[in-house]
Structure 1
Amino acid sequence: MRRVNRHLKPQPLPQRNGVDAVSFVLPDAANPADDTFGAATVLDYLAARFYPHARPLFEERFERDEVKDAEGGPVAPDAPLVGQKIWYYRQLGQERPVPFDMPVLYEDEWVMAIDKPHFLPTTPNGSFVAHTALVKLRVRENNPLLIPIHRLDRATAGVVLFAKTPEARAPFQTMFERRALSKTYEAVAAPIPELGVGDSMTVRSRIDNAHGQLQVAQTGVDFLPGDVPPLAPETRAEKRKRHSANLPFTGLNAESKITCLATYPRQDAEAWQPSCNVSQNSAGVKKEHAPEILSTTEQRVPSQLAHYRLEPHTGKTHQLRVHLAAAGAPIIGDVIYPEVLPPTETDPELRLQLLARSLSFTHPITGEALTISSKRRLTLAPH
């Protein structure tokens, strides 16, 4: 029988359908450095900053007593701005549901692993809140304390771990921070000329998030053939010395091992049919397409494909996607690398061919050796 934890931790406002209330520190009107948007009261400020053309959205929150202070007391709409912290429920927009399941791959008293589908975000972010793995699992498992230990991109499918209690979160996150586990991914891309079947190479680089950009910034790319020792992480002593000198880390921070498992012609990939067919997008809507009107991502599929095993030794944003793109083999179905494709109203017909296949680690609480593997397969992977 599966176990469900219900150790509730009180908050000023409880979760609503798996969604946490948000907290916000208001400006102090007496501080000239704080921007009050010309407002003198809490309601005026919230409306002016977030909904200048829809003030009733916040007025209704106050009427329903859904704006609380840090101690859980009610906040009056005409309360002055004194730098206080408040809690309220965010306004949810229209979200397109992802009609796929999230089977449980492993579960014990402390942690749960699920098999995330493509197109489902791991956590609330931007326009996705209710239709995220975290919110859906909290409701389905009747556990408001679930929290992800790591994340996958919305476009990536596969194994994701969730802590079931606040106490379990720290030891598992420490395991990730210390790289005390093995992560294996699979991808389909064009063949890399210098990488034969069974051959491996390691890609190292520096990856930095670029503010306001979909793509990350990558510099110092290096390709190392064969098996090489992992890039040594910065030691605590080195980090303390750098911090004491107020210096940023400027070395390489991303490393991935790429192994070619197979190469094969495109027509051998299951579900790739050059004749007209009917398929479903992530919204469950059927659509017909013929070869001459294939989507931009589908037009990118080369005549020869390669199936790769990817082993990231670090966990930077978009790491595997930029490393394969740097090797001249961007992942099939990628709408961000090597260049950003124009957005569409629905998700791409061809899913990103990237799958988080497995996690292997020693359970930080029980000491048990575990390997958790996804049951999914990539559309264009060989049989």
Structure 2
Amino acid sequence: MTQTARAAQPSYVVLPREVTDKSTVFAFLATHFARIGEEVWRQRILDGKVHWQDGSVIKLDSAYRPTARVYYYREVPVETLVPFEEQILFQDENVILAYKPHFLPVTPSGNYVNECLVHRLRLRTGIETIAPAHRLDRETAGVILMTTRPQTRHLYHQLFVDDVIRKDYQAMAKLTPNIIEQYRKGCLSLPLHWTVKNRMQPSEPSFIMQVVEGDANTHSEISLVAIEGDVGLFHLSPITGKTHQLRVHMLSLGMPLLNDRFYPRLLPKGPDDFTQPLKLMAQRLRFIDPVSGIYHDIQCEGFMLASAPSIMST
């Protein structure tokens, strides 16, 4: 029998009001989550792993209740441990600013249920209400803002909606032949800056993004700040926040990020190579705390090349 890992925290689904052809919760779950399989849902229900919001157990014949929440525990084959440690960089009663290592998801996703930043921080702090205020890809390392109190959480989400939080990234990529030639001839002065604006939309498969014709819906400011051999160190500021925006914008400049498994082409799915992390780092967050009024300037250690200036001085 295959060993599985069970999520420490339950997930939930809201039973849609418009569904009228399912008489039981079991029938809905087996159809809605068809990839999991009817027999898996049957066994979960028989094992008492599916319940209503009040904790009462759902049975195979439990009637479908439109708009009700159904809670369940995700299970996946035993997880691979991510061999890198998170760090708490700042903590008060409302927020935790943490360093998330490469390969670690922020919340349960895919084959990860307990190997995620939220679960690790809950174990470390004993605070069960920790939740992220924004996204950070599993492949990307760096500083992330976590909230701890549900009653103030919306105030920190609003920072990102109102674009009043400054995000600075670092990245490493192989340079274009033209840049390398100019640098070797001594006719290139750093930093070299690009403003990238274009229109991005999902590609195929849908988790991959592509640049298409049309009005721009993305904007990044990108600077090459140091060169070592054929590799450059970049400082990046995403003005908008589309999925994979910085990765796609670097690709559009002809310089895809080092160790990127998605761009310029999607590599076959396989186990993580922990020796080859994506060279993208959310290195710094700056904002005024909407509750305490404190100005936060939180940084983590970034990438370095010889003679590279520190992002901390910008």
- Scaled by the length of structure 2, the TM-score of the pair is 0.82
Q: Name the counterpart of 1:284.
A: none
What corresponds to 1:13 in structure 2? none
1:257 equivalent to 2:182? Answer: no
Residue 200 (str. 1) matches residue 193 (str. 2): yes
- Given residue 317 of structure 1, which amino acid in structure 2 is its aligned partner? T
User: Which of residues 55, 58, 64 is equivalent to 2:44?
Assistant: 58
Task: Choose 1 or 2 for highest CA Rg.
Answer: 1
CA distance in 2: counterparts of 1:314 and 1:28, whole angstroms? 34
Report the identity percentage. Answer: 30
Indicate how the Cα distance of structure 1 residues 91 and 191 shifts in structure 2: closer, same or farther if over 3 A, else same: closer
What is the aligned partner in structure 1 of residue 185 from structure 2?
none
Aligned partners of 1:324, 1:371: CA distance in 2, in Å? 26
| Distance in structure 2 (CA, Å) of the matches to 1:311 and 1:73 | 48
C-alpha RMSD over aligned residues: 2.6
Are 1:113 and 2:97 an aligned pair? yes
Q: For the Cα contact (< 8 Å) 1:209–1:317, is it kept in 2?
A: no
**Partner AA of 1:205 in structure 2:** N
Q: Which has the higher contact order (CA 8 A, sep 6+)?
A: 1
* Structure 2 partner of 1:344: 270
Distance in 1 (CA, whole Å) between partners of 2:265 and 2:145 is: 30
Q: What's the CA shift string for 1:268-315, capped at 9, x where partnerless?
A: xxxxxxxxxxxxxxxxxxxxxxxxxxxxxxxxxxxx111111111111
Q: Which amino acid aligns with 2:74?
A: Q
Amino acid at match of 1:20: P
Residues 1-383 of structure 1 aligned to structure 2 (within 5 Å): 18-25=8-15, 31=20, 34=21, 36=22, 40-43=23-26, 45-47=28-30, 49=34, 50-54=36-40, 57-62=43-48, 66-83=49-66, 85-93=68-76, 94-192=78-176, 193=178, 196-210=189-203, 212-220=205-213, 251-265=215-229, 304-347=230-273, 349-375=275-301, 377-378=302-303, 381-382=305-306
Structure-2 separation of matches of 1:88 and 1:96: 25
C-alpha separation in 2, matches of 1:136 and 1:262:
35
Distance in 2 between residues matched to 1:72 and 1:43, nearest whole Å: 17
Following the alignment from structure 1 to structure 2, what is the Cα–Cα distance between the partners of residues 73 and 165?
Answer: 26
Matched letter for residue 75 of structure 2: L
Amino acid at match of 2:12: V
Deviation, structure 1 residue 361: 1.1
Q: 2:199 aligns to what SS in structure 1?
A: strand
Q: Distance in 1 between matches of 2:211 and 2:193?
A: 21
**1:43 CA displacement:** 3.7
Give, in whole Å, the separation in 2 of the partners of 1:349 and 1:51: 35
Shift of 1:101: 1.1
Letter in 2 for 1:350: Q
Distance 1:347 1:24, change over 3 A: farther
The one-letter amino acid paired with 2:142 is G
Aligned partners of 2:256 and 2:263 also within 8 Å: yes
